[in-house]
Structures are given as structure tokens and as C-alpha cells.
Structure 1
Amino acid sequence: MIAALGAFDGFHRGHQILLKEARRLSDFSGARWGVVTLTPHPQLLFSPKSPALLFTEQERHRLARFLSVPQYVRIPFTRETADLSPSGFLDALHALCGIKGVVVGSDFRFGKGRSGNVSFLERESRRRGWFFTALEQMRMGGTPVSSTRVRRVLLEGNLMETAELLGYPFFVSGPVVRGDGRGRTLGFPTANVAVPAMKLLPPDGVYACVVFLNGKRHAAAVNIGRNPTFPGARARRFEVHILECDADLYDRVLSVFLLQRLRPELHFSGPAELVARVKEDVAAAKCVTALLSPEEDSVLERLSRDENLLVQERSTVSVE
């Protein structure tokens, strides 16, 4: 296997050049290729206070499908795995995947205490007879494309730049759960999507978005926040009003593709003022989705598909 190695939180454009190189080496050598990553993300094991991640495991799986990754190998990341020496990690990797070559970023580190680097990996690959490529970080606007940069831009509410860095719109997937039912009484029923705790979200506010239901694209508006217009403390919510939709969505898993921030979350004097502003938000969201290019439409449609992909759960060998 030609393995593209990495954490791959987001499969952003920088990651995608690794996939392209792995595919090239596969075509050259005749060996199969795929992504090998760790689950859960190493940050979640070693740093409980680490920043939330861009995508859940299920969402990363969807992105692998979207990017036509033929094999997506997720190695459970445990204390045992973390304690493997760099050589031990490569031995385990080969035993699990039958490695013929590796593709990594130039800043790739692995093994106990992140003691293995690209120079070591290059020497080991040569000794083991593997193909090897280390690629410099892709740059956009003069700055490297990284998951850290994507998180920063997302937290600024800049969904358009986030999509530029990712190569596709940021999205949120989760089951629809019961809310207060207040939106329906106001004339704007919403689907309350349960977002995993580790999932990073943009700042509170209203966003233009797209939702696919039964293969049909719908414009929608999302409110992220705590509904400050109404009394009482409540947890942060992710509420979606889908245009031209009367379906009962409870318990259904919904994927919401965020396109543009329309405004911050505001406190209104009462329901009447809120309804008037929501009407403006819905009109703006409809306008944003109407201006999508054919290429953007195609990306959204492909992301919404649920095709089969070979997913392999592997276990590491014992610690050296």
C-alpha cells in the first residue's frame, strides 16, 4: 500500500496534495493506495483542553469518499500506540497495511514523544525499499495551509475563506432532536441538530446554508447560539430553518453545509421584531444559495452522497 500518513483533521487543500502524490505513486508502482490515520485524533488523547476538531470521525469518512480515497485505514490511537518507537511504529504500520511507500508532509512527526521526523522516515524508507515523498506545506496568500489556520478562520466566522482553504464548504452533521418548538409558533420551524461536543463551530450568529433532503437541494438559514431574545438560560444550539420543507426530521441525521455568515446573534425586543428580522435572514440565505456557481453546486451534490467506501479498523501490535 502507498500510504498517505497524517492526522487529516479536515482533508484541507494541503492534505489533498498528499493524496494526489499517493495516487501518482500508486499509478507508477501498481500498488494500491489510501489514507492511514489515527483515531481518535492524538490531540484528544494527550490534551483534554485542546481545541475542538473541524470534523468528526463520521464526517472525515464522508470526506474520504468525496475525495475518492480507495482505502481509509483508521488505526486506534491508544497509550500503547503512542509509546511505540518510530521504528516500532513503522514495523506495526507495515504489518497492518503491507506498506510499499509513504507520503507525508514535511513537518510530519511520529513515534513516542514525536521523536520520529521526516529525515528518519526517509532513511527508514530507503532501508525498507519503500517509495517515499515528503511535500512542503501548500501556501495560499503567502501563508501555509494547515488545520490550525482553518480553525482560526472558521472561528472568525469567515466561511468563504474557510471553504477556500478546505476546497469545499464547512459542514455539520448530526441527528435532529427535540427543541422548544418555538420556531414553528413563530412561522419558521427549525430542526435542532445535536452537534458533538468535540466539533468546532463558527461564532454565534445566523448563516446561509444548504441542506439536501432525498437528493434535493434546499436553501436554509442556521442560527447558532442561545436565543437571547427569550428568557431563561439554555445551552448553545444549532437550529436550521429549511426553506420549502414540511418533512418531519426528528431522529434523522442532517448534514448542513454553511456558506456565509449573515449577522451575529442579536437580542430583540420581542417576537415581532425577531420575526421581521428572520424574514430578512431567510431572504438573504435564499439569495446566497441562488448565486452558487455550477462548480459549487457540483461540489455540494457530491458531498451529499452516501456511497460505499472500504473502511478498515486496525489494531496496533504490542509496544516494543
Structure 2
Amino acid sequence: MEIYRLRYPDQLNIQLHHAYSMAIGFFDGVHKGHQEVIDSAKKKADELGIQTAVMTFDPHPSQLFSGRNVGYITPLEEKVRLLEALQVDTLFIVSFDWDLASLSPQQFIDIFVKGLGVKHVTAGFDFTFGMKGSGTMKEMHDLSEGLYGTTTIQKVTYDHDGKVSSTKVRQLLSEGDVEEAALLLGRPFRTFGEVVHGEKRGRQLGFPTANIQTDEENIVPANGVYAVYCLVDGKWHPGVCNLGVKPTFHNPEHRVATAEVHLLNANMDLYGKQVAIEWLHRIRAERKFESLEALKEQIGKDKQTAMDLLNG
């Protein structure tokens, strides 16, 4: 997959040798709704005998306008991996800044559609572009001057009437419902981080854990205990993960949540390694225990539950 980083107005001159059927959107999560948009663009590319392209933006527009952390479902590196797995030929990553946000719909189309040799544009029904989001897929079609076609994908639903959306995925993860989130994503939810030194409490309790520090920009599930898989040096290991503030030892009001993974089939030195966690099942909510013995007993039960769930 060819990757081009574009920024208006000073980073637009790139050598392009193809015509494109382009899917456009932010695509946070690359969930089933996004996949339908991209699949439609691929089918049109095959029909026209041209390449499939995706255009996404960095950072999220809401981050620019609100100044607040959005909570990414898929950090950019993961989004790139997923798009490559969907067999996209070319990825355009456009810097979303105030210069871009000030463009009119016509200017946006002239630069980022016609200027890139796009012959067909596919997007979701709620995609907007240009100043204050004033451009819709109707404007995308009306301003084409016959140089490209357009396809608008209507909302993708689940359970008959629920819209598949990044907002819904975030809601499910905030509730700890990683199984339902996986249905919308079409795969288990995945997070990334570096293994750092912790307090060694897991080792003292007989269950050594890897403390995984994740980027604050990226969303994590609700606090609790989960059955997970952990990717270490290219190999997946089953595990049980406690995500939270360890209320048995700390005041929850003064503690940032951390992920502690106990591998079920391996005992290795992970410090400094970059790992991924796939969240498969939520076992229980995080809670405070009255004694270390009670905590230790519960951890043993959680480990067995995780083994049963992952083996099942």
C-alpha cells in the first residue's frame, strides 16, 4: 500500500501515476460501516479498472475544534494496518488543521479530489467536508463537473435498528462490553502499549503481571477484569488482564487506570517491549477486597475463568 501524507497548502505536490476510486472519511475503528464504504470503493475500482484509495485525516476534526482528547478507537498506525489488510492500494493521510478547515467545499474538491486524479468518490451518508462541514455528498456530486462519480453508503445497522458507528463502539467499550464492540468492529478490540515497571504486587501475590502503559489519546475499555490475548514479539499469548486503579491498594480518585496482564502460558521478561492486547471477554468489574487473601483467591478464580473462556 502506498501512503501519502498531505497538508494544505504546502504539502500537495506528489507524483501520482494512477486514477483512483476513493473512499473518504475519518474511519476511526474501521468498523463494519467503514468496511462497507471501502468495499464499495473497491468494487467500483474493479469495475473501472483503476486503483482503490482511502483518504483519512489526522488528527480527528473534533480534536482541533474542541481542543479535547477524542479517544481514538484505532490509533493511526493500527488504522494503516487494517486498511492494508483490506487490500487498499493507496492511502492519503491529510493533516486536519485550521488551513484545511477553512477551505470551501469547492476548494476541497478541486484540491483533494480532482487534483488527485480521483474518478469515483465513496463515503457514508453523514460525511461532510469544507468549512463548518457545509459540504455533503450532494455537493460532492453536484460539483463534479462530470469528472468523477459518487456513491453514498446509507447507514449500516445491527440488531435491526442500531447504527454501526464509532460513537456506538466507544459507548460499548465505556461499558466494558468488548464482545458487542467486536461485533460492530468485525474483530476484537485491540490496544497497544509498552511494558513498564510496576509495583510488583502481582508477583507478590503469585500472579506476575506485565504493566502496560497505553497512550492517553487512545480509548480503553471500562475498568474490570478481562480474558485477553497479548501479542509479544509476533506471537499471541492467552492472558487475564486487570484494567483499573487497584482499589485494594489505592484511592481510586487519585489513580490513573493501568492494564496488568498475566500470561497464562508463558513467564518471560517483557520490560520495554511493545505489545498489543486483544480484549475478548469481560469477566467482572473491578472491586476492592478486604484482605490480600480474598484478593488472591479471586485472582485464582479469574485466571480459571479466563482459561475456560479462551479455550471455549
Which residue is equivalent to 2:213?
194
Q: Secondary structure at the match of 2:143?
A: helix
Q: Is residue 104 of structure 2 the alignment partner of residue 85 of structure 1? A: yes
2:246 is aligned with 1:227: yes
**How large is the Cα RMSD of the aligned pairs?**
1.6
Aligned mate of 2:154, from 136, 140, 144: 136
The residue that corresponds to 1:256 in the other structure is 277
Q: Which position in structure 2 is the counterpart of 1:168?
A: 187
Aligned to 1:246: 267
Given that 1:52 and 1:200 are in contact with CA atoms closer than 8 Å, whether structure 2 keeps it comes out as yes
Q: Is 1:111 equivalent to 2:130 in the alignment?
A: yes
- TM-score normalised by length of structure 2: 0.89
Q: Given that residues 207 and 263 in structure 1 are in contact (C-alpha distance below 8 angstroms), is that contact kept between their aligned partners in structure 2?
A: yes
Q: In the alignment, which residue of structure 2 is the partner of 1:25?
A: 44
Whether 1:285 aligns to 2:303 is no
**More relative contact order, 1 or 2 (CA 8 Å, 6+ apart):** 1
What amino acid is aligned across from residue 136 of structure 1 in structure 2? Answer: Q
Query: In the TM superposition, what is the alpha-carbon distance from 1:128 to its structure 2 partner?
Result: 4.2
Cα offset for 1:96?
Answer: 5.8
- The 3 A distance-change label for structure 1 pair 128 and 180 is farther
Q: Is the 8 A contact 2:22 2:41 kept in 1?
A: yes
The separation in 2 between residues aligned to 1:167 and 1:262, in whole angstroms, is 21
Number of aligned pairs? 290
Aligned residues of 2:57 and 2:93 also touching (Cα < 8 A) = yes
CA distance in 1: counterparts of 2:171 and 2:250, whole angstroms: 32
Q: Distance in 1 between matches of 2:69 and 2:231?
A: 32
Asked whether the equivalents of residues 108 and 117 of structure 1 are also in contact (C-alpha less than 8 Å), the reply is: yes
CA contact (8 A) 1:41 1:77 kept: yes
How far residue 115 of structure 1 moved from its aligned partner, in angstroms, is 0.6
CA 1:143/1:234 → structure 2, altered by over 3 Å: closer, same or farther?
closer
How far 1:105 sits from its partner (Å)? 0.7
Residue in structure 1 matched with residue 57 of structure 2 by the alignment: 38
- How far residue 34 of structure 1 moved from its aligned partner, in angstroms, is 1.8
Is the contact between residue 225 and residue 243 of structure 2 (CA under 8 Å) also seen in structure 1? yes
The aligned counterpart of 1:3 is 22
- Over 3 Å counting, the alpha-carbon distance change for 1:95 and 1:181 in structure 2 is farther
- Compared CA separation, residues 118 and 46, structure 1 to 2 (3 A): same
Change (3 A) 1:96 1:273: farther
Q: Distance in 1 between matches of 2:290 and 2:95?
A: 51
Is structure 2 residue 66 aligned with structure 1 residue 66?
A: no
> Whole-Å Cα distance in 1 between the matches of residues 74 and 87 of structure 2?
18
| Counterpart Cα distance in 2 of 1:214 and 1:113 | 44
Which one is further off, 43-52 or 80-89?
43-52
**Residues 199-218 of structure 1: pairs in structure 2 closer than 5 A:** 199-218=218-237
Cα distance, 1:80 vs structure 2: 0.4
CA distance in 2, matches of 1:51, 1:93: 25
State the Cα distance separating 1:48 from its structure 2 match.
Answer: 2.5
Kept in 2: contact 1:2–1:26 (CA 8 A):
yes
**How far apart in 1 are the matches of 2:41 and 2:186?**
18
TM-score, normalized by length of structure 1? 0.86
How much does 1:85 deviate?
0.8
Q: Percent identity?
A: 36
Q: Is the contact between residue 59 and residue 173 of structure 1 (CA under 8 Å) also seen in structure 2?
A: no
Query: Which residue identity does 2:310 align to in structure 1?
Result: T
- Alpha-carbon distance in 1 for matches of 2:84, 2:263: 26
Contact 1:159 1:260 in 2 (8 A): yes
